[in-house]
A and B are shown apart, each in its own frame.
Chain A
Amino acid sequence: MGKYALRRMLLFVPTLLVATILVFTLFWIVPGDPALTILGGEGDSGAVSPEQLQQLRQTLGLNRPLHVQYASWLGNVLRGDLGTSLWYKTPVWTQLKDRFLVTMELAVMAILLAVCAAVPLGIVSAVKQDTGLDYLSRIFSSIGIALPTFWLGILIVYALASTFQWLPPLGYATVWDDPLLNLQQLILPALTLAFNDLAFTARLTRSAMLEVMREDYLRTARAKGLVELRVIGRHALKNALLPVLTVSGYQFARLLGGVIIVESIFAVPGMGTLLIDSIIHRDFIVLQAIVVLIAAVVLILNLLVDLSYGVLDPRVRYQ
């Protein structure tokens, strides 16, 4: 298992490299000029003269050939320097470190909410198969899967503002500074993010439970006279949870994508809003750093999920 993990980690390097090359290339294919954005902002660039643009491009090193710019960026990253933001003129790391924690807090909160609600829902749905409760649960899950996260977010904001004249407080407080305010600020975006995963995980739990509940060993357990709660909780759930847990790992990685829009809707200052900003401002230095970070998190998650197979199911062997 150790050798397997090491081999997988070595594969991280070319994967990350390809991801950065891809993003870098795409960035320069898409129209837009960081120098023009800096001088003109998001509004009117009319007063910018071609000479001023050229001057700034020269200062920022944007006139250099693309491969030179990429090599320069990569060289800095290998020395532990993620670069300086073209827009903020501050080291990228100072921007990233706080945002990363915010996004991770939101994602963890969302995945916990999703799993904690989805597993009981899936179990009830399976145990009460083809009853009204099961149908309700399945309708709920279908809606959850069908609803786009961004739409749900907008709907929540609209409904709360119009009906209750209430919205989560603006701004951001860390969990260490003000846990209650932090919870108020993050609970709605976390619920929005969780809804889709909740629906998917509930359906997955239901089908896994149904499959397990048809197994002979459960019949044996019941024949031994075990109470139903113990049969479900101890024998069925333990085996049904294996696919749920592994899928949740991937879901977490997927959440990092959904977080971008949700953060924007709820004004959460995480990596999602930073990513959108860096695209709007054509700040490719920040964009590259975020891509590297997200790619690294996804790769690590994938590895952990793969390794968890062996822990959860002793029959799995790594080669």
Chain B
Amino acid sequence: MACSGSFKIGAVVPVSVLLLLIIGMVCTPAAAQHPSSEGQTFAFPWPPDWVARGRYQKMVLRGVTGFNPGQWDVHACGTLPDCLMPASPQFNGLVYHNPVNPDEIVCDLCESWTVSRDGRTYTFYLRQAQWHDGQPVTAEDIKFSLDRITEPGAIRVRTGVLRAFYEHGSAQVLDARTIRVPIKFASPLFLENLASEYMKMYPKHVAQGLSPDDAQKPGKLIGSGPWKLKEFKPNISIEYVRNPNYFKKGLPYFDGMIFTIVRDYNRRLAAMQVGQAHTTEGPTIGTYGSEDPMRMQRETKGRVRAIYIPEAVQTYLVLHMNKPPFQDPRVRRAVFLAVDRHELMKIVRCAESFGCFGSVGTFLPNKGGKVVESPEDLAQAKGWRRPKDQDLAEAKSLMAAAGYANGVKANLNLGNVPLVVRSGEVLAEQLRKNLGIDLTLEPVDRATQVDRIMRGTHHASLDSSGVIILDPADYLNQHFLVSGGQKNPDGWRNSRLTDIIQAQAKELDPQKRLRLFKEAVEILRGGESHMVPLSWGSSGGMMDYRLQNFHVPGSEQIVKHFEHVWWDPEAPLPKN
């Protein structure tokens, strides 16, 4: 998170205060409206320069999506393509990831915020905005939304994480456009989580009368966002119209958007190829990988642009601990050591003519400018270092000690997507050759695969998971905090790791926090957990080259609203 215009007030020397105030006024005009005597103020002048540079076109943006949404209440749902993607364009968050600099968190519905000295109270000052029905957005709506997100007992798949920071009902409405939000402890993760695309703000007068089921229906919930949902035709299309009263004046840049639902992958590619669509859904939903978009870019001579997040999705092995052989930590460590991640990456993630789209799997994502596991570090680390002789020797002795010197048969639960099957094949061959583990691959559709993981029907599962928030803590939370879910089906725990996960959430010093992450990684490199990281892959999509101002975010879960992109018919065709 960056804020060039932030300033501190608290110095006792009046001259210094005056000087700081002057600097603040020059750098951030909005900040001067809410000088805080109790902490730090973050303000974001609007409109930014890209709004002025944007070009409105009297046209409808056309996209294709492979998903048929069934849920529209982002507070409750947990799914990116079936819920967040179609719902997001209608709403705003209190804060969000800056669409032109996605690593940065900036105001969305707020105009500025102030953080108290102890970091436990946030005061948000709202912009003058209105809901799609013309009612003003008030601090009451924000309080209602925060309370709805953290409603006790309600199903909150993605947004439930806010409960760790915000006590239901504790926000105070100071006036119609000011809200004070106390949090349970000072944390570097509060804003990261609040900026999640799932944390949308709803109008109280509409949402409070809706049952959970009704809220999931299209068009029932309205927002303040750049787009209004015009019509959802199941299995046909999702259509939006421009919000003419959007509080970010001049946005969005089209009259409307229509996403046609095309289930067939090849038909979607063909639609991009013949120019029936300007963009794929998202546009960074991982279903396209990177090879097909790159091929499309080449075949259309650059008219279709490949868009991808380089390290968006991690593939890993889940070793089920409810049955032999992986209930034995020695066997789990043997697998951890024996996997050749470099070879796996080369075979699976590198296309002959386009180069490689991925990297070797680390435990934690290197996101938000925080590098926990650097390439230099990995070059020395057990399980990653090359040559693998030492690791393989140790792995074999562990297998022998566990009574599996002659190998063992096991089955592998995996998805039926070609890329996943290819990963499974390479992995099976490595484990057969190195440890005598004879894996039988059982590829199935996604619903079956996840069900098998949750029930622990197989010895091992090959799974993948996307980055949600741009912080290394993301994967610690996903894989090691929740027990019994898809990411930790057998509830593997390490008491020190749990302490670290809790400590890093409260640690405000970036260096100390980084040390905690490194300690967590050291524990995990013991190789006794259920999770064996394999590789990082890209999450890709396609766009017409004339769509401008799209900046690739660090996660496929953010920047989903299309408020900032415009169409430039005169844009030069990029060189291929």
Binding site for B on A (CB under 8 A): 30-33, 36-50, 52-53, 55-56, 85, 87-90, 95, 99, 154, 157-158, 160-162, 165-167, 169-172, 264-267, 269, 273-274, 276-277, 280-282
Contact = CB atoms under 8 A, between A and B. Distances in A.
Interface of B: 62, 64, 67-68, 70-71, 77-83, 155, 157-158, 160, 213, 216-217, 233-237, 258, 260-264, 266-267, 270-271, 273-277, 444-448, 450-452, 454-455, 457, 464-466, 468, 478, 482, 484-487
B478 A46 contact: yes
A212 to B, nearest CB: 43
Nearest to A154: B266
Nearest to B463: A46
A112 B435 CA distance: 61
Contacts of A46: 465, 478, 485-487
Contacts of B275: 165
Contact of A165 (B62, B274, B452): B274
Given A161-B270, A170-B64, A38 B451 contact: no
A17 B123 CA distance: 62
B451 A32 contact: yes
29 contacts: A31-B451, A32-B451, A33-B454, A36-B447, A39-B78, A40-B157, A41-B70, A41-B71, A41-B79, A41-B82, A43-B80, A46-B478, A46-B485, A49-B485, A52-B157, A89-B213, A90-B217, A154-B266, A157-B266, A160-B270, A165-B273, A166-B274, A265-B267, A267-B262, A269-B236, A269-B261, A273-B235, A274-B235, A277-B263
Contacts of A89: 70, 213, 216-217
Name the residue in B274, B455, B457, B482 with the highest tally of chain A Cβ atoms < 10 Å from its Cβ. Answer: B274
Contact of B484 (A49, A90, A162): A49
A40 B78 contact: yes
Contacts of B274: 161, 165-167
Contacts of B448: 30-32
Contacts of A45: 78, 450, 454, 485-486
A43 B539 CA distance: 13
Given A48-B157, A273-B235, A281-B70, A43 B263 contact: no
Contacts of A99: 235
Nearest to B479: A46
Nearest to B448: A31
Contacts of A37: 447
A95 B234 contact: yes
A280 B445 contact: yes
Name the residue in A43, A50, A169 with the highest tally of chain B Cβ atoms < 10 Å from its Cβ. Answer: A43
Nearest to B271: A170
Contacts of A55: 155
A30 B448 CA distance: 8
Contacts of A165: 273-275
A154 B266 CA distance: 8
A95 to B, nearest CB: 7
Given A32-B448, A41-B78, A170-B277, A48 B485 contact: yes
Contacts of A167: 267, 270-271, 274, 276
B274 to A, nearest CB: 5
B465 A171 contact: no
Contacts of B80: 41, 43-44
A273 B270 CA distance: 18
6 closest A-B pairs (Cβ-Cβ)? A41-B79, A41-B82, A87-B70, A161-B270, A32-B447, A50-B484
A263 to B, nearest CB: 9
A23 to B, nearest CB: 17
A43 B82 contact: yes
A65 B369 CA distance: 51
Contacts of B260: 170-171, 267
A131 to B, nearest CB: 40
A267 B263 contact: yes
Given A40-B450, A265-B267, A48 B213 contact: no
A90 to B, nearest CB: 7
A40 B236 CA distance: 22
A38 B454 CA distance: 15
Contact of B444 (A31, A33, A49): A31
Contacts of B266: 154, 157-158, 265
Contacts of B263: 264, 267, 273, 276-277
B452 A31 contact: yes
A33 B451 contact: yes
B264 A265 contact: yes
B302 to A, nearest CB: 15
Contact of B276 (A40, A47, A169): A169
A89 B70 CA distance: 8
Contacts of A157: 266-267, 270
Contacts of B83: 41
Contacts of A33: 447, 451, 454
A39 B70 CA distance: 10
A44 B466 contact: yes
A154 B265 CA distance: 11
A277 B64 CA distance: 17
A89 B466 CA distance: 28
Given A42-B446, A165-B275, A167-B274, 20 more contacts: A31-B455, A33-B451, A36-B447, A36-B454, A41-B78, A42-B67, A43-B81, A44-B78, A44-B465, A44-B466, A53-B454, A87-B70, A154-B266, A157-B266, A157-B267, A166-B274, A167-B270, A170-B64, A170-B260, A274-B234
A170 B262 contact: yes
A234 to B, nearest CB: 46
B316 to A, nearest CB: 11
Given A36-B454, A89-B70, A42 B81 contact: yes
Name the residue in B67, B267, B464, B466 with the highest tally of chain A Cβ atoms < 10 Å from its Cβ. Answer: B267
A38 to B, nearest CB: 7
Given A32-B448, A45-B450, A87-B70, A172 B236 contact: yes
A48 B276 contact: no
A55 B157 CA distance: 12
Given A30-B448, A33-B451, A43 B79 contact: yes
Nearest to B68: A277
Nearest to B478: A46
A158 B157 contact: no
Nearest to A261: B264
A32 B413 CA distance: 13
A158 B267 CA distance: 8
B521 to A, nearest CB: 20
B67 A158 contact: no
